[in-house]
Amino acid sequence: MSKSVAIVTGASQGIGRSTALRLARDFSAVVLVARNREKLEATAETIRQSGAAALVVDIDLGEKASARTVVERTLATFGRIDALLNIAGAVPQIDLFEMTDEQWDAGMALKLHGARRLTIEAWPALKESGGSVVLISGNSAVTPKAPYAAVATINAAIVALAKAFSDRGIADGVQVNSVLPGAVMTGRRRSYLEHWAPLHGMTVEEATEQFPREAGIGRYGEPEEIAELMAFLVSPVAKWMTGSTIRMDGGEVKAT
């Protein structure tokens, strides 16, 4: 394992946690960023047991000063940054006509602006290492619906942001891509189904089974499957792949 350092945001659960664990096989150190310190420490211990180093940074990326703190602590501890995976960001699924400005702004602050600020702060170190960046978006970026308006808008902005970063990265030697996961069975999705099911006269089991049928997919994705894609994108074999938007959704979106 070469000396290399990856920062993973949203690393306390779901896709972020799975990605952090997966990258510990390829990187000598993983920096875990999220708000829940207890969950981050548990993930960090698993990584350390696997033989890689881990640094926990429990911080709210919606705060303007947080990006600099993450980068400064990473460089002070490990001296370099080779990959940045922007995965943090839960946006409430509230109808377009019911969502408040405060709810909209909170989603923007964490998922969009958090990723933007952190990528900019990490850019000099990534430029020095010839590193890689991945920004996570979602299928709603290309299939917006009224109940998911904020999610769709932010996800579409992330795709555009990744394209802009990749354009700059061609000159600076930094690779940037975005990923659009489909319906992945995370803890957040389970919580959503538990809330949604009784509102529609269903059991949680019925609601869980209904979505894949309606979406025309065989099953939900697993966080570990997205993590494998993330690991590929920041690996040496994918270095010529930049400015791409990769959809991994089990065939849910039928458009090219």
Q: Using an 8 Å Cβ cutoff, are 224 and 22 in contact?
A: yes
> How far is 108 from 146, CA to CA, in rounded Å?
17
The predicted pLDDT at position 256 comes to 66
User: Structural domains in the chain?
Assistant: 5-182+222-248 (3.40.50.720), 185-220 (no CATH)
| 3-state SS record for the chain | CCCCEEEEECCCCHHHHHHHHHHCCCCCEEEEEECCHHHHHHHHHHHHHHCCEEEEEECCCCCCCHHHHHHHHHHHHHCCCCEEEECCCCCCCCCCCCCCHHHHHHHHHHHHHHHHHHHHHHHHHHHHHCCEEEEECCHHHCCCCHHHHHHHHHHHHHHHHHHHHHHHHHHHCCEEEEEEECCECCHHHHHHHHHHHHHCCCCHHHHHHHHHHHHCCCCCECHHHHHHHHHHHCCHHHCCCCCCEEEECCCCCCCC
Tell me the per-residue pLDDT of 99-128, one tens digit each, with 9 for 90 and over: 888 888 888 898 999 999 999 999 999 999
pTM given for the model: 0.93
Tell me the per-residue pLDDT of 28-46, one tens digit each, with 9 for 90 and over: 999 999 999 999 999 999 9
- Asked if pLDDT for residue 192 goes beyond 80, the answer is no
Angle at CA 160, nearest 5°, toward 157 and 166? 140
The share of the chain scoring above pLDDT 70, in percent, equals 98
